[in-house]
C-alpha cells in the first residue's frame, strides 16, 4: 500500500486471504490419506510411550523417549522440537506450549501429553491422558473420572454437531458450554483448529469471538476440512485434563480420523 500511495490504485487492492484460506483448508482425498497415516504413526508412538511411563520418570525423559521414536519411525515433529511433545506431569507443571521439565510422574496424579508428527509432509496433533493410581487406590478418584467424562462428552457432542455450513464459533460453544456447566470454569483457548501441512493450518478455527481471534471463528465449516477438537479443564489436586482428536468434516457431518480416547488410561504405580 505504501508503494501505491498517491497513484489512485489504493482501492484496487483486494486481499487474497479468502482464496489462500480456501486452498489450505480444503483437503483432497490424497491429503486426507496422508493425515491418516501420520495419525496412525502417532498412535503407535503413544502406545509405546504409555508402556514406558511410570512414577519417577521425568517430563524430559518422557519427551526424549518420544523424540527418539520420531527417528525410529522416520518422521518429524509436527511443531517445534522444544515442546513437541508437551508433557504435563501433575499439578505443578506449566500448561500450554511450553517445554518439558525435570518434574517427575507421581502416583495420584495425571499425565497429559500433547504430541504430533509430520509424515510425508502432513501432520497429526493429538492429546492423550493417563492417571497413576496412588497407594490404596484401585480406581481413579471420582473428580478425575468426572473431569475425564466431561471432556469426552464435550468432544463427542462437538463432533456430532459438526457439518458444512456452520461457523466454527458454533462448535466451540457446544464444547465450551459443556465444560463450563460441569466445572464452573472456561478454558482460555479455542476448541480446535485446522490440521494439514502444518499442525495449525488453514484459517478458520473452532473458537469463541475473542478479540485475539479476529474473524477466524466466523469461518464456515466445509466438507474436506480437517480440524482438531481439544477442550480442556484443570483439576487443582490432580493436573490437566485434556484430549485432542482429529476430525474430518464430511458432506453429511463429521467423522473421527483418530480413534478417540473414551477410556482413561489407568496405570499402577
Confidence of residue 205 (pLDDT cuts 50, 70, 90): very high
pLDDT at position 117 = 98
Question: Which segments of 53-87 does DSSP mark as H helices, in order?
Answer: 59-72
Q: How confident is the model at residue 79 (pLDDT cuts 50, 70, 90)?
A: very high
Q: What is the mean pLDDT of residues 137-164?
A: 98
For residues 258 and 269, give the distance between their C-alpha atoms in angstroms, rounded to a whole number.
28
pLDDT band at 3 (very low <50, low <70, confident <90, very high): confident
pLDDT tens profile 234-264: 999 999 999 999 999 999 999 999 999 999 9
Cell numbers linked to 167: 461457523
Hey, where are the domains in the chain?
A: 18-267
pLDDT in tens, 6-60: 898 888 888 898 899 999 999 999 999 999 999 999 999 999 999 999 999 999 9
CA–CA separation, 161 vs 216, rounded Å? Answer: 19
Contact between 132 and 55 under an 8 Å Cβ cutoff? The reply is: yes
3-state secondary structure of 263: coil
Q: Which residue has better confidence, 135 or 12? A: 135
Rounded to an integer, what distance in angstroms lies between the CA atom of residue 184 and that of residue 178?
10
Please report the pLDDT score of residue 132 as a whole number. Answer: 98
Name which residue leads in pLDDT, 81 or 8: 81
Cβ contacts of residue 203 below 8 Å, gap of 6+?
A: 17, 20, 21, 24, 25, 194, 216, 219
Architecture of the CATH domain 18-267:
Alpha-Beta Complex (3.90)
**What pTM was estimated for this model as a whole?**
0.94
Mean of the pLDDT values across residues 204-218?
A: 97
Q: ω into residue 84 within 30 of 0, thus cis?
A: no
Mean pLDDT of the chain: 96
Amino acid at each position: 500500500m505504501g508503494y501505491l500511495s498517491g497513484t489512485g490504485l489504493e482501492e484496487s487492492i483486494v486481499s487474497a486471504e479468502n482464496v489462500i484460506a480456501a486452498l489450505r483448508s480444503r483437503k483432497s482425498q490424497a491429503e486426507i490419506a496422508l493425515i491418516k497415516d501420520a495419525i496412525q504413526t502417532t498412535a503407535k508412538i503413544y502406545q509405546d510411550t504409555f508402556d514406558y511411563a511410570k512414577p519417577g520418570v521425568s517430563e524430559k525423559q518422557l519427551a526424549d523417549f518420544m523424540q527418539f521414536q520420531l527417528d525410529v519411525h522416520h518422521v518429524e515433529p509436527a511443531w517445534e522440537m522444544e515442546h513437541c511433545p508437551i508433557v504435563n506431569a501433575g499439578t505443578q507443571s506449566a500448561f500450554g506450549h511450553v517445554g518439558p521439565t525435570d518434574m517427575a510422574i507421581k502416583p495420584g496424579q495425571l499425565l497429559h501429553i500433547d504430541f504430533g508428527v509430520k509424515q510425508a509432509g502432513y501432520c497429526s496433533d493429538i492429546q492423550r491422558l493417563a492417571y497413576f493410581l496412588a497407594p490404596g487406590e484401585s480406581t481413579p478418584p471420582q473428580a478425575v473420572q468426572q473431569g475425564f467424562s466431561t471432556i469426552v462428552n464435550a468432544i463427542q457432542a462437538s463432533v456430532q454437531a459438526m457439518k458444512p455450513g456452520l461457523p466454527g464459533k458454533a462448535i466451540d460453544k457446544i464444547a465450551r458450554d459443556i465444560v463450563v456447566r460441569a466445572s464452573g470454569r472456561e478454558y482460555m483457548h479455542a476448541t480446535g483448529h485446522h490440521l494439514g501441512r502444518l499442525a495449525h493450518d488453514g484459517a478458520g478455527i473452532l473458537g469463541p469471538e475473542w478479540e485475539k481471534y479476529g474473524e477466524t471463528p466466523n469461518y464456515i465449516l466445509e466438507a474436506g476440512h480437517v480440524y482438531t477438537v481439544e477442550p480442556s479443564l484443570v483439576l487443582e489436586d490432580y493436573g490437566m485434563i485434556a484430549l485432542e482428536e482429529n476430525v474430518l468434516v464430511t458432506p453429511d457431518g463429521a467423522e473421527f480420523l483418530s480413534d478417540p480416547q473414551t477410556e482413561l488410561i489407568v496405570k499402577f504405580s
